[in-house]
Each structure stands twice: as C-alpha cells, then as structure tokens.
Amino acid sequence: SQTIHQWPATLVQPVGSPLSLECTVEGTSNPNLYWYRQAAGRGLQLLFYSVGIGQISSEVPQNLSASRPQDRQFILSSKKLLLSDSGFYLCAWTGTGSEKLFFGSGTQLSVL
C-alpha cells in the first residue's frame, strides 16, 4: 500500500535561518507531488506541485522553493526564513490520472 512520510512534525526556527522540509512517498511510482501551506484558522494554499523529477511549478511567488531530486522525494526549502513563513505545511500526492489527494501528517513551522 502507498504511504507518505513527512518530517519533521514541528520546527522552530529563527528569522533568517534556512529551511528544509522533506516528504517521501512509498508504494507508488511517478506520483504527482504537492506542497500546501495552511495559515492558522484558514484554508489550504497550494505552494508548489511537481509531475516528475526536476519538474517544479510554483503557484505563489514567495520566499520558498521546492525540489524533486528523486521520483518519490519532494523537498521544500528556504535560504532565509521570514516571520510570514510560519504555518502548517502539508505534503500530498496523487497517482497519475487520479483525482484523489493523500496528505502527509504535516509540519508545524514557527519562525521567531
């Protein structure tokens, strides 16, 4: 069966520090991968998606970037975090041609 792993679960970082959140999917190949952000008490905002290795599409101009170095690995990064980067980050995947989105357990990022 397919599983998605996302880590860390919580992270506290000072302003100006770098960021790296990792997400991996098991049990499937060539998944579509997504990074969403959820601000406190609000809905989900799509940040990045990827349909294949090295293919990244950005939905919102921001301080963040994403990379997909391997088929089932998706990384969210920042060189210098801002206070506004605080939030709950969710990784998700779908199979090719599938409309069902499956989510990781999320990372709560607090930038202080």
Partner 1 sequence: AQTVTQSQPEMSVQEAETVTLSCTYDTSENNYYLFWYKQPPSRQMILVIRQEAYKQQNATENRFSVNFQKAAKSFSLKISDSQLGDTAMYFCAFIPLSSGSARQLTFGSGTQLTVLP
| Closer of 81 and 90 to partner 1 (Cβ) | 90
Do residues 26 and 72 touch, judged by C-beta distance below 8 A?
yes
SS3 83: helix
By rule CB under 8 A, what string of x and - marks binding of each residue 28-47 to partner 1?
A: ----x-x-------xxx-x-
CA distance 100 to 26: 16
**Does residue 102 belong to the site contacting partner 1 (CB under 8 A)?**
yes
How many other C-beta atoms are found inside a 10 Å radius of the C-beta of residue 101? 12
**Does residue 14 belong to the site contacting partner 1 (CB under 8 A)?**
no
Do residues 52 and 68 touch, judged by C-beta distance below 8 A?
yes
**Does residue 7 belong to the site contacting partner 1 (CB under 8 A)?**
no
Those residues with Cβ within 8 angstroms of residue 46's Cβ, 6 or more apart along the chain or in another chain: 34, 35, 36, 59, 60
**Does residue 99 belong to the site contacting partner 1 (CB under 8 A)?**
yes
Span of 12-20, 21-29, 73-81, 100-108 interacting with partner 1 by CB under 8 A? 100-108
**Does residue 100 belong to the site contacting partner 1 (CB under 8 A)?**
yes
Residues found near partner 1 in the complex (CB under 8 A): 32, 34, 42-44, 46, 49, 51, 57, 59, 88, 90, 92, 94, 96-103, 105-106, 108
